[in-house]
Amino acid sequence: MSVHDRGPNGGPTSSRPVGETTPLITLPEPGSHDLVYQRFSSRQKRFIVMMVSFCGIIPLFIGGSFIPSLPQISKDLDTTMTKASMVVSLSILGISIGALTASGYSTFYGRRPIYLFYFPLFIIGSFAVASSCTINQLIVWRFVQAFGTSPGVSVGAGVIGDIYKLEERGGAMGVFFACILLGPTIAPFVGGFAAHYSSWRALQASIAIAGLVIFMFIYAFLPETSHPGEKGVDKMEGSKTNSVRSGHRGWAEKVKDRLPILLNPLAPLWLLTSPNLLLVCFGNILITHTIYEVLLVPISVTLGEKFGIWNEAVVGACFLPSGLGNMIGAPIAGRLSDYFVVRYRTQRGGLWYPEDRLRATPYAFLLVPGSMFLSGFVTGTDYIENKTLGLSIYLFCLFVNGLGIDIVSSPSAAYFVDVMQKRSAESMAANSSTRQVIQAAMVAAIMPMVQTYGVLVTDVASGVLSSAGFVLMWATIRYGDRLRQWSNVEDLTDR
């Protein structure tokens, strides 16, 4: 069990190096808290990570594959690009709502039932998207499809927290994010290729078939990973057993037992009333918006007007450097965050300060804002006349930005799981859904901003905002112990 390290007045003791913020808890001796993480062998853990990673790939892949197809979709359904782009925004909203609902029920019923319930919705939605005849039908079924994919990241991160202990969690989370980021890496190229050489409908039908195959693997092989006795339904059953033994169960309780359990889908958002989680969440929003909204959404227009590239397949291929940076950055950042956790805990004689996990994030400070300033200069000015050189620099900016973003995202995800172990999926859902809702609004606003103020102003403004995000991350590292003391959220549960 975790033991709070408190002084005589209820505040933290001051056993720390000079200038160091106060660590909150003392971890048990190594091995004494590890039994729950030894339920699965290393081989089983890797197989579980592989399965949940495939589930995590899907929402990011579908979202990325839609962007290069928007011109063909608007033409096929006889609508405008503005209305077609609403499909992207509303699908983000569907993922957000679904993630909040899925995470709450995964805490109550376990991880496996959630995957088995949501995946059929995704499969049905995908087939319906492929057969949509109007833009309104497409919007509705794309929402259903997105809702069905929503457990991918939040519940998947919860699974990682279930099976990996503190000292291994960052590396495992890095591998998880590296795998799921294959989605946005290959999606634009696949979507552009399908749009140019086949059709967006064929791609969506293929996605539905792939989802059916993954669902069969989950049904056959994915075990329940929730810690024994920690699910809400387990605690409820224990309460029922005690009531039966004491003879206090009346007819009302028996009727209630037969009714489905209804959970508030917005309840996980309450976790963000914890100041440290809120700062990390908004720090991530300000940093990660640079790639998904500012660089990638208008990329077809940017490349077309600046470099004369209009082929959807080629535009999609230009997304690859960003995804490559994601894939390289995620495992490096995960390992680095584990290193800082072990290093600083050893220096303090076993005292664990959760924000040590975030010490990897400042390494990306020059990468993210710097790539935005440089990309704005290349695509928003005429100083570089050589198109080959300009395109090369722009692709390099995409790679560097993708690398920097995951040096922030991967440790941040592990941090949410660290401090909210028993509600890890809910904390991840609160983080990701809040980010997605805000980014959905950014997606709707980015094209008008580019058209009104130009690429240079848009990219520079984005770089400044990302710098503010790093300030929030630094504040969490520096003052995390005080922030957690102000929180009303149950925090820092057993590792």
- DSSP lists the bridge partners of residue 12 as 6
* pLDDT, tens digit (0-9, with 9 covering 90-100), for 348-373: 888 888 899 999 999 999 999 999 99
Q: Which helix (H) or strand (E) holds 25?
A: strand 25-26
pLDDT tens digit string along 361-416? 999 999 999 999 999 898 888 888 888 898 899 999 999 998 999 899 889 988 98
Structural domain that includes position 199: 33-227+266-485
**Tell me, what amino acid is at 24?**
L
- Asked whether 470 and 287 are in contact (CB, 8 A), the reply is yes
- Answer yes or no: is 394 within a domain: yes
pLDDT confidence of residue 312? 67
Q: Which of 53, 154, 51, 138 is nearest to 95 (CA)?
A: 154
What is the reported pLDDT for 21? 44
Give pLDDT, residue 20. Answer: 45
Instruction: Decide if 12 is inside a domain.
Output: no
Name the one residue in this structure whose structure tokens are 């005429």: 382
321: which 2 tokens? 């450097």
Q: Cα dihedral sign for 336, 367, 322, 395? A: negative
What pLDDT does residue 495 have?
45
- The amino acid at residue 486 is W
Going by C-alpha positions, the residue among 121, 151, 180, 485 that lies closest to residue 326 is 180
- Please give the model's pTM, rounded to 2 decimal places: 0.77
- What amino acid occupies position 458? T
- Measured in degrees and rounded to the nearest 5, phi and psi for residue 337 equal -65, -40
Q: Are 146 and 154 in contact (CB under 8 A)?
A: no
Q: CB–CB of 449/301 below 8 Å?
A: no
Domain tally, the chain? 1
Using CA atoms, how far apart are residues 415 and 165, in angstroms rounded to an integer? 13
Residues of the chain with pLDDT under 70: 1-34, 237-260, 292-293, 297, 300, 312, 487-495
DSSP-assigned states of every residue in 286-301: HHHHIIIIIISTTHHH
Q: Which residues are CB-contacts of 265 (< 8 A; sequence separation ≥ 6)?
A: 97, 100, 101, 104
* Residue 80's CATH number: 1.20.1250.20
Q: Phi and psi dihedrals of 352, rounded to 5?
A: -110, 125
- The answer to whether 215 and 148 have CB atoms below 8 angstroms apart is no
8, part of any domain:
no
In a domain, 248, yes or no: no
